[in-house]
Structure 1
């Protein structure tokens, strides 16, 4: 017999994996399962990797990483290995393996750090560096493990606080990507207008993976100063869809009236991952401008 919580998890899982339900409802169901956690929630999330939506599968992998539950490792390894999965999905699986922080994934990450798809290879190399950093017995500063945004990041913040020095590291393509990511997260954690503008410069520098992470961070910061930069990248049809999708979601997090109007223009974009991101971003806009208590509200709706 299933207990009440198990029945609720299965009910939320049915919303997540029902292709007839609106994508925005399925995303809210996913984040509900992430917040609940546990083996059964992981099993329900796993089912979604058969979905045709690369955006949804990418988010499934992200949530499994953020849950930091080692029971998700075999699922994520299979996704990383599966070359029929889109690069955006495989990249997120690699990042999630690094986020969980279990050393057992070092061999697989090392193997796929040599992958021909650059975004996957760079992600696995970053994940390896994160694990090496976590294993470094010289680490003394526990403050570096703290994050005001409550996310598990692919790199710890740098110990530097000087915005110009951090910007110089961020934009220097001759410096290892892991160090540039550390500068990126340090700038984010400063949460000043100056640091936002410094980060926004990164939308015009570095690899696809690097630019996509810049957009994600600007979404976390939710500062309107970044809107023109995000808009420019979203509107650039020559930009990689991985970056444009993240810019759309960042605009949704900022949720100003201007963001709402920008996003509506791209609901019919040629790239599925971009137009679906705009759907999710507009739902986030509505949430941010509503009196709703929480975004991951599927349990409330199921029990209503």
Structure 2
């Protein structure tokens, strides 16, 4: 049983910029695993930070927690045009993940945002909420237990799903459904089909592809992820997610690129490589869990 004091101690690590970013990430995911109102409150305090990467992950975790007490702060972040686009995008996605239709009006409003990543995210979130209203339950058969921005398509033919995924004339929601269907099918053919998506679509689309490849942790995607990380012309939003995916895959060929781009001029890429290197170390260690903030706290006391 986690005590209120322990939640507070982990929360202080999360919001204290003097701690290394990798420690703050572990604190964040520890709080996400705790759940509850106090954890939501501490995570919400982090939106005052100056790291776009950290704030992006705060919003992601609040969405995955699906605690409706997070809705006001997520709406505030989405509406705050001083926040970085990748942070506002993740706040919109989190509102869709929580699944309460009361946010439909605000999501529809920001579906016309001048920042394309924000607009596309809100459009997807509206579609997700409308799909939930029609189907009345969350999609099943997700082996990763994540709350996704679109339900998987019912199609199971990898080539047909690949064609939908790469067809930029298709509605974005349909392409996302193909994306998550491929992920759920798994296997090298699905991984390679998804990796082809790193060469097309919007930055938001490519960002989501990289995230999924990180979930799948399949070595076949390492060359494409590395190429996107190395491409200076690519959106930092995509490059950051490629770095985190390489950290999650955590095989030897991932290491050199992460070490190199930990010095990148783009802060979000640099910080993502720092966090990814910590993930790499975790995946290659005997540690039982990445979100080990509580055990580390106890060990140091």
TM range (shorter): over 0.9
- Counterpart of 1:145? 140
Maintained 8 Å contact 2:141/2:184: no
Give me the whole-angstrom Cα distance separating, in 2, the residues matched to 1:144 and 1:194. 23
- Counterpart of 1:130? 128
Shift of the 170–85 alpha-carbon distance from structure 1 to 2, 3 Å rule, reads same
Give me the whole-angstrom Cα distance separating, in 2, the residues matched to 1:115 and 1:4. 41
- Counterpart of 1:192? 187
- Counterpart of 1:257? 252
Residue by residue over 1:44-98, the C-alpha shift from the partner in whole angstroms, topping out at 9 and shown as x without a partner, is: 0111000000000000000000000000000000000000000000000000000
Q: Given the alignment, which residue of 61, 74, 78 partners 1:63?
A: 61
Q: Given the alignment, which residue of 20, 35, 38 partners 1:37?
A: 35
- Counterpart of 1:18? 16
TM-score, with normalisation over the residues of structure 2? 0.98
Give me the whole-angstrom Cα distance separating, in 2, the residues matched to 1:268 and 1:299. 30
Q: Does 1:165 align with 2:172?
A: no
Give me the whole-angstrom Cα distance separating, in 1, the residues matched to 2:13 and 2:79. 27
Superposition deviation, residue 144 in structure 1: 3.3
SS at match of 1:145: coil
Give me the whole-angstrom Cα distance separating, in 1, the residues matched to 2:140 and 2:104. 20
Give me the whole-angstrom Cα distance separating, in 1, the residues matched to 2:217 and 2:18. 31
Superposition deviation, residue 4 in structure 1: 6.3
SS at match of 1:144: coil
Segments of 4+ in structure 1 off by > 2 A? 142-146
SS at match of 1:203: helix
Superposition deviation, residue 303 in structure 1: 1.7
SS at match of 1:275: helix
Shift of the 39–172 alpha-carbon distance from structure 1 to 2, 3 Å rule, reads same
Q: Does 1:236 align with 2:231?
A: yes
Q: In the TM superposition, what are the counterparts of 1:255-294 in structure 2 within 5 Å?
A: 255-294=250-289
Q: What is the total number of aligned residue pairs between the two structures? A: 299
Q: Given the alignment, which residue of 115, 118, 122 partners 2:116?
A: 118
RMSD, aligned α-carbons: 1.2
Maintained 8 Å contact 2:161/2:178: yes
Superposition deviation, residue 146 in structure 1: 3.3
Give me the whole-angstrom Cα distance separating, in 2, the residues matched to 1:90 and 1:4. 31
